[in-house]
Amino acid sequence: MPAVFKSPLATFGRFVPKDPASRRIEQAMAYGPDPRQRLSLFAPRRRHDEPLPVILFFYGGSWRSGFREGYDFVGRALAAQGFLAAIVDYRLVPEGRFPVFMEDCAAATGWLLDNAGNHGGRTGSILLVGHSAGAYNAAMLALDARWLGADRARISGWVGISGPYAFGAANAVTKAAFGTRGPAPNAQPVNLASADSPPALLLHGGRDTVVLPASSEELARRLRRAGASASVKVYPQLDHIATIGVFALPFRGRSSLFSDLIAFCKQHGG
Residue type, 124: G
Closest CA relative to residue 91, chosen from 123, 66, 120, 119: 66
The whole-number mean pLDDT for each consecutive block of 10 residues of the chain, a chain of 270 residues, reads: 50 82 96 98 92 97 94 97 98 97 98 97 96 98 97 98 96 96 96 98 98 98 98 98 95 96 94
What's residue 226's pLDDT?
98
Beta-strand pair 84-88/38-44: antiparallel
107-150 pLDDT, tens per residue? 999 999 999 999 999 999 999 999 999 999 999 999 999 999 99
Task: Write out the residue range of the structural domain in which residue 53 sits.
Answer: 3-267
Rounded Cα–Cα distance for residues 227 and 169 (Å): 29
Radius of gyration of the chain (CA): 17
What's residue 7's pLDDT?
62
Rounded Cα–Cα distance for residues 227 and 86 (Å): 30
> Any residues with CB less than 8 A from the CB of 15 and at least 6 apart, and which?
none
Rounded Cα–Cα distance for residues 176 and 81 (Å): 37
What's residue 1's pLDDT?
29
Task: Give the whole-number percent of the chain exceeding pLDDT 70.
Answer: 96
Q: ∠ CA 25-22-42 to the nearest 5 degrees? A: 35
Rounded Cα–Cα distance for residues 204 and 232 (Å): 8
What's residue 5's pLDDT?
40
What's residue 14's pLDDT?
73
Q: Count of domains in the chain?
A: 1
Rounded Cα–Cα distance for residues 39 and 32 (Å): 10
What's residue 4's pLDDT?
38
The pTM score is: 0.95
CATH number of 48's domain:
3.40.50.1820
What's residue 90's pLDDT?
98
